[in-house]
Amino acid sequence: MTGAQPPKNRFRFGAVAIAAAVVVLVVSLLFVACSGSSGKKAAGQSERTAPSKDFKQQALKAGAVHVESIGPLGTIPKDVQKAVLLASQKYVGSALLAPLESGSVGASYANLFDPGVRGAAAGADRGALTDAGVGPVKKYKQTAGKVAISGLTDAAGRLMFTATNFTVKTVADVDGGQATLTHDVELTFNPLGLVTAYRVRTIRKLPAAPTTTTVATSGSTP
């Protein structure tokens, strides 16, 4: 991994509390998990037609868990932790790995986002959030740091939002040599299990080209 550190989670507090949001979050995210977890490979890994020894992937694994609160300190249930980890894995597969294999983001990419940020994620911010401009490549090896999971609870201690922070690094064989792609990712999930806010910093080192760093930020929490 490089020395780049994932951005710190930055929930923005407000007066709005979502009653029983944790119930909705658990049910919604478990639906996402159940609908996409079949097969031996990690769900959400790149949407390719067949496995290949040339495309090596490391699944995301959970790391530290931290909860913030505007009232009594609540918790992030284990099933919610598992579900947001799965949703983050789907982002990695659709946004970062599928483009390296096919040249295009995965078919499910836009649907990972809440309508409030979907336009930016699929449009102006796509260059930072995805590697669509790099692929297809001949082969790659992708690694990832552990995923920090953060939660925000309301005045009654109920879970309102959950966020993940992680770093993904991919070394790919491209025309002219090797490319190194590093993404520091923060994704915030709403009670429906969709990405409602994000901050992604992307560093690309391409053969015979200057190193570039792009940052995309969109969305907010109450």
Residue pLDDT, tens place only, 161-218: 999 999 999 999 998 999 999 999 999 998 888 999 999 999 999 998 899 999 999 9
- C-beta atoms surrounding 57 within 10 Å: 21
Structural class in CATH, domain 21-34+64-219:
alpha beta
- C-beta atoms surrounding 213 within 10 Å: 11
Look up residue 47 and give its amino acid.
E
Q: What angle (nearest 5°) sits at the alpha carbon of residue 181, between those of residues 176 and 182?
A: 160
Candidate from 11-15, 53-57, 84-88 with smallest mean pLDDT: 11-15
Tell me what pLDDT residue 42 has: 47
Tell me what pLDDT residue 221 has: 53
* Residue 76, token pair as written in the block: 């992030």
Tell me what pLDDT residue 51 has: 47
Tell me what pLDDT residue 188 has: 96
Distance CA 102, CA 136 (A): 5
Its pTM stands at 0.80
Q: Would you kindly state where each structural domain of the chain is located, as residue ranges?
A: 21-34+64-219
pLDDT, tens digit, for every residue of 93-137?
999 999 999 999 999 999 999 999 999 999 999 999 999 989 899
* Alpha-helical segments (H) within 36-114: 78-91, 98-102
